[in-house]
Each structure stands twice: as C-alpha cells, then as structure tokens.
Structure 1
Amino acid sequence: MEVYHAGSRALQERAGVREAADHVGRSVGQDIKPVAAAFLALQPLLVVGAADPATGGVWASPVAGTPGFVRATGPRRMSVTGGVHAGDPLAPALATPGTHVGTLALDPRTRRRMRLNGRLRPVPEGFAVDADRIFSNCPKYLQKRDLCATVPRTPGTPRHGTELTVRQRQFVAEADTFFLATVHGQGADAGHRGGNPGFVRVLSPRELLWRDYPGNSMFLTLGNLATDPRAGLLFLDWTTGTALQLTGEARTEFGADGQRRVHFTLAAAVETEGAVPLRWSAPAYSPANPDPAG
C-alpha cells in the first residue's frame, strides 16, 4: 500500500511540502517494533475510527482499560481486550470482520502518540487489527495531562440528536482536544487535533470550524477529506469520562491569508456520560498552541 493517495498528494503539492512529506513517509511501516509494542502496553486509552457498515457514517470512539489491554500479539497484529459499550455507534463496525479501522494510542502523560491502521478481526475477548500502517506523530498541540485515577463507571444511556444542545456547544467551545476519524478508498484513520480552548468555533448547532495548524506535512486527514468528506469527531470530558461523538461531513477551506480551516457539518450526535473510566488532571497546554483568536 502506498503511503499517500491522490488526495494527500494534492494537498502536499498545494502547500509545497511534497519533499518533506516523502521524508516523513519513510517512517511509515507495517511491523510493530519493540518500542511501539512497549508503548502500546502502557496505554489506558485507545481511539478507534471507522465507518458504520449499515449507515456509512464515520465515527471515532474511545476504548479504555487497564494498561496491557492493548498489546502487540504478532509482528503485524494488535489485540484489544474489551471494546466499546453496547450503545456506542461503532459497536456494529467493531463486530464486523474486515472493517477498515484507524487507531490512535495517545499518551497525554508524555505527549506521545502512535497510529496503527488496518483491518479488524473480532475475537472472543475483544478485537484484533492486522496492521497496514504504523507510525508515530510529533507531540505538537498535545496537552500534557496526568492520569489521576481509574474510576469504576457504568456508561449512561446514550443521548442522540441531530443538533448540538446549548450545553454541548459550550463543551465543544471550551475543548482543547478532539479526535478525528476519516476514511479513504484503502482504509480508515484516527487522528488528533489540539489547541488552546476556543480553537474549535461553534458556528451554529450543526456547524463547527477549526483552523488546521501546521503539522508533519503528511496531510493524511485533509487528504482523506478531499476524496471522502465523511468524518467523525470525539470530544472527551477528561474529568467525568463523558464522550460526545459527532458524525457528518467536513471540507477544507483555503483562505486568502494562507491559512486552512476545516468546516464540519453535523449529521448526528451521541453523548454518553461515564463512557471512559479514567480521570485526568487539568492540562498543561502545549507551547506550540497558537492563539485561537489569531
């Protein structure tokens, strides 16, 4: 599988970063190296992105557990014990063999993150992913948080809607982090977006906007959106474990000022209290975060 498809290449050419992207792309592989296996084994949280096989909607979901619940069980296989709760919108996808999934293991304690994308295989204790792509990302725009406690929580009944409530809009507007799932013809991807509170603007109950900050020059997420606008967003309350999951479509807008902005239109929202049994500390914001008003 090529590292980049036509959508990513078009964005790289437009930004004039193709040579840099080729350099970064050489770090993408299929094998889970020992350092990557050790990193996975320490994580209490994994974000999974995929498309619902029935509706086609793209979602990002949190999966949490005691460190060791995610582990390498072969040179190209990651196994996950457990999974999403029964009411999670990705539950059908994670029960379907062959589903393309993107996963992101992100450690706020160390500002490290690793992506592993591939095909899913349900197993009795959870699911496994046969890897197509494995690579790490830089710590840019990652807020540092310490894990305070693992809290016994029973996920609440999911609340569904097609517009954000007033409280949900405030939650999004105050967020410093969200996770973004996208898809393309050869797979799926789960990524991270971060910034100071206010970096995501709520334009209406169904519209969000955020600036695309300079990154690693790969343009994987925006490249996917250039070929398939479906997207899934996940916002977490790092204290209470509430998860707000959004699905819809996103498009990249190119401003005369040279900045890129992503406009998201909501199709459906799912809010679940106590979805994640983890309580994290208040953040230390990344020094790379731009002023959201800038």
Structure 2
Amino acid sequence: MEQTNNVTEFVLLGLSQNQELQKTLFFMFLLFYTVILLGNLLIIVTIKRSQRLNSPMYFFLSYLSFVDICYSSITAPKLIADSLVERKTISFVGCIAQLFGAHFLGCTEIFLLTVMAYDRYIAICKPLHYTTIMNKGMCSWMVAASWVGGFVHSLVQTLLTTHLPFCGPNVIDHYFCDVHPLLKLACTDTYIIGLIVVANTGMISLSCFLVLIVSYIVILVTLRNRSSEGRLKALSTCASHITVVILFFGPCIFIYMRPSTTFSEDKMVALFYTIITPMLNPLIYTLRNEEVKSAMRKLWSRKAISSLLHLFIYCVPK
C-alpha cells in the first residue's frame, strides 16, 4: 500500500518559546546577519579591486566569502523573522528548498576549505612548483568542482528526504529544516536512510577534516627548516584557516557523524556553522592578515578621498 504525504507545512519551534527572549534574539541575529553581509562583501570587493591580492589564496577566499553570504542567507533571515512571531511555520516546499540550499552551500564550503588547505600545502611544501600547479585554470577548476560536489551531495540528501512519507506530527524542534529532524517525523522506518546520511554528510565532513589535519601536520614539519620570519608568516596564514576549520567542521561532525537522532543541543551547535562561522570568517582572515588589512586601508582611503572630492565639486557654487 502506497504511503501518502499529508503534511503541507511544518511548524518550527525555533531557538526559544520565550517571547521576551525572542525579542533579544531578533536584534542579536539581525546584528550578526548584518555583520556577515558587510564583512564578507568587504572582503570580496577588496580582493577584486586590489591588484596586490591576486594570488590563489585570495581567489579562494573571495569565493569562500561569497558562499558564506549565500549560506547564512538560507537560515538567518527566516530565523530573524520567526523571532517576531509566536507560531513559526514553513511550507513543505519551502522546507525542502531550505534543506537543499543548506546542504548545497554547506558542503561547497567544506570543499572550498579543503581546497584552501591544499593551496597552503603547495605554497609551503612545494614553493618552486607553486605557480605551475596553482595556475588560474587549476584554481577555477577546483572552485567549480567544489560547487558541483556540493550540488551532488545536496541532491542525494534532498531526494532521500522528499521520498519519505510525512503524515503528522509536523513540529520540527529546530530553527531550520535539516535532515535529522525531518527523518524523525517520517511515517516509516528511516534507519537505512539515516545510515546513508551518515555515510554521505558525516563521512564527507570527517574525511575532509582528516585531510586538513594531515596537510597541516606536513606543513608544520616542513616549516621547521624555514627561517623564523618565513615560519611566522606561514603560521599566521595557516592559523587563520585552522581556526575556521575547527569552528566549522567540529559542529558538522558532531551532528552528522551519528545515526538519525536529535538532541536539544543540536540547535545551538548548528548556529556555529550556519551563522557564527560566516560572521567570524571576515574577522579571522583580516585581523591576522597584514596584506588584506593594508589593501583595505589603501583601497577604502582612496574611495573616501574620491567621495570627498566629488562632494566638494558638487557643493562648490557654479
């Protein structure tokens, strides 16, 4: 007998049911989302407009910032809007679209962070071959492969979920539609699909994380033979990337490297890779990078001077 889907919308419980706390969350996450947009846009514009920031590292960083903007936009606007209403609902189609977008962009970010680690490995361990290996064509191919890999991964997750029957209840104890909370609501046995989710999302997160750890161990071993100045510069760049990797991969592994079970802590943990990391990325990559800070000062000081000149010319009486 064929099972049908009787659910047309889902009710999200969000981060809290307390009305006073929700008002605080509204202003807090509105601020976070604004920082995400402005911070990542600042990095993208600075890299695109600065002639000094034309290395593969900054090429990948600009795409990482773009993915961060898109990724946070999947969940943050809905989270902010839901903080103002008592009953938080999302249509079935909207829920599936949010699931697809979150996994598509989240997995793309995982692959981009792995590619950035490979770039640092080649730059430090094989400096004489760096320009040959990391040429423009190779960098573009790596970015394209990251997008395709994220799309294929998300497509698998979404197709597995949409083929499940949902006949009620329709309450999701989360602030966005994710695969584990949806599997919990399905009116059928989801054990096998839960294992596939672990093998898909969990193993991608874990395997990429292990690749990153091994690459940085090799980098640290290689740096022992470098001068103190070169070692400090390389370590500064790598430290920024390692910080982002830990903040992003740790929560992902915690949530997706287990069967389809949910914990009350999952919502708070998910904030790290959906909002906190995209917000901190611009700060981490700029505060620890003198080249980016210098390029920002030069670019935006020129912009400010140009704006003042235009304003002066406009205001001078004819």
Q: Same fold (TM over 0.5)?
A: no
Using structure 2 for the length normalisation, give the TM-score: 0.22
Larger radius of gyration: 2
Higher relative contact order (CA 8 A, sep 6+): 2
Between structures 1 and 2, the one with greater helix share: 2
Structure with the bigger percentage of strand: 1
Normalised TM-score (structure 1)? 0.23
